[in-house]
Amino acid sequence: MHAGLKITAYAAALAATFGTAYGVGQGIGPVAEEAAPAPHESHGESSSRPEGGGREQVPAGGLQISEKGYTLDLRTPRVAAGQRADLRFVVRDTSGRAVTAYQREHDKELHLIVASRDLVTYRHLHPTRAADGTWSIPVELPRAGGYRVFADFTPAKKNAENLTLGADLAASGPFEPQRLPAPSATAKVDGYEVELNGGLRPGAATELKPAVFRNGKPVTDLQPYLGAYGHLVALRSGDLAYLHVHPNGEPGDGATEPGPDISFTATAPSRGTYRLFLDFKHAGKVHTAAFTVRAGTAAGEESPSAAEPSQAHETSDGHGH
């Protein structure tokens, strides 16, 4: 957006399947042409109940590989950790044909999110699309382990709905479990400090308002990135249910200021722990700040069952924009 992954069970499963490492990385072919996102509807491939229990109160995305007649065909199910490789995939329609027409949202046809199962590594990517509908982008994942790939898009059809489809990706190499960083209302990244105001509430829309600072001073000249001053993705710990939360307002609307605050409205699909990833652009570079949040508590406020040692990551390890 249990505390994160159930590491021991996960590591045991990996050991049984792969020994001390994941399966071998897989080679891939070249890239080709162009790349897109939005809010979400009902998804649900995994029947695993999120941490905190309770029934889903609003739809969550990214849990299914197929939905509403569309399927994510991940052509690269394995890569080698620490090695650059082309990640390739196709979105197929009900007849099995590759989709080649998409609506552009936030300046792109498709937005690709890659996140590790422990929610420590995060990438927001914009792949290129070949004429035959094959999407491709080079990636280099820093650590071995399980990852989830999310394709966020809207087909170019009348009345088409935005979809987020998800598929599993394995990175080979020696596996070292990581714990989810403890809840905090402050994140440091690349010399910036971001303070998160507000929190997530199950089944209710709430405002999340991160504020960006540099050297102790508010940043008031954020630059537009993908048509907004910030983009926020929330992933639920445990099953990686996906929320792509859109900002309130946009550059040039006469009301939205370029910082330090960026306003979002979000609704958590259930109780539980979420990892929030904020992308913002300043001085020509895109930065990603990451927060751990408990749905139902204010940002940075820990419930007794949520306390976990932090792994001292300033943010997700790497951006990949």
Do residues 166 and 37 both lie within one domain? yes
Q: Is residue 100 part of a domain?
A: yes
> What gap in Å lies between CA 306 and CA 237, rounded to an integer?
12
Domain boundary among 172, 201, 221: 172
- C-alpha angle with apex 46: 291 to 124, nearest 5 degrees? 40
Do residues 232 and 162 both lie within one domain? no
pLDDT at 299: 61
Q: What is the CATH number of the domain that holds 44?
A: 2.60.40.1930
The token duo for 92 is 């197929």
pLDDT at 25: 36
Domain boundary among 172, 194, 220: 172
On the question of a cis peptide bond just before residue 260, with omega within 30 degrees of 0, the verdict is yes
Q: How many CA atoms lie within 13 A of 275 on its CB side?
A: 29
Do residues 196 and 158 both lie within one domain? no
pLDDT at 243: 87
Do residues 71 and 99 both lie within one domain? yes
Domain boundary among 172, 205, 221: 172
3-state percent helix, strand, coil for the chain, nearest multiple of 5: 5, 40, 55
> What gap in Å lies between CA 44 and CA 165, rounded to an integer?
9
pLDDT at 234: 96
Q: Is residue 314 part of a domain?
A: no
> What gap in Å lies between CA 127 and CA 143, rounded to an integer?
21
> Rounded to the nearest 5°, which phi and psi values hold at 290?
-125, 140
Do residues 43 and 77 both lie within one domain? yes
- Give the strands of the sheet with 231-236, arranged side by side: 242-245, 231-236, 272-282, 285-295
Domain span holding position 40: 7-172
Q: Is residue 117 part of a domain?
A: yes
Q: CB count, 10 Å around CB of 63? A: 25
* Alpha-carbon distance values, 160 to 153, 157, 321 (Å): 10, 5, 27
Calculate the CA 8 to chain-centre distance. 24
238: left (phi over 0), alpha (psi -120 to 50) or beta: left
Give the chain's domain count. Answer: 2
Q: Is residue 313 part of a domain?
A: no
Q: What is the CATH number of the domain that holds 264?
A: 2.60.40.1940
Q: Is residue 197 part of a domain?
A: yes
Q: What is the pTM of this model?
A: 0.78
Output the tens digit of pLDDT for each of the chain's 321 residues.
443 333 333 333 333 333 334 333 333 333 233 333 333 333 333 333 344 443 344 567 999 999 999 999 999 999 999 999 999 999 999 999 999 999 998 889 999 999 999 999 999 999 999 999 999 999 999 999 999 999 999 999 989 999 999 999 999 999 998 999 999 999 999 999 999 999 999 989 999 999 999 999 999 999 999 999 999 999 999 999 998 787 899 999 999 999 999 999 999 999 999 999 999 999 999 999 999 999 987 665 554 333 343 333 344 555 555
Q: Is residue 319 part of a domain?
A: no
Do residues 140 and 84 both lie within one domain? yes
Q: Is residue 312 part of a domain?
A: no
> What gap in Å lies between CA 256 and CA 106, rounded to an integer?
16
> What gap in Å lies between CA 129 and CA 108, rounded to an integer?
11
Element of type H or E holding 7:
helix 7-18
pLDDT at 59: 64
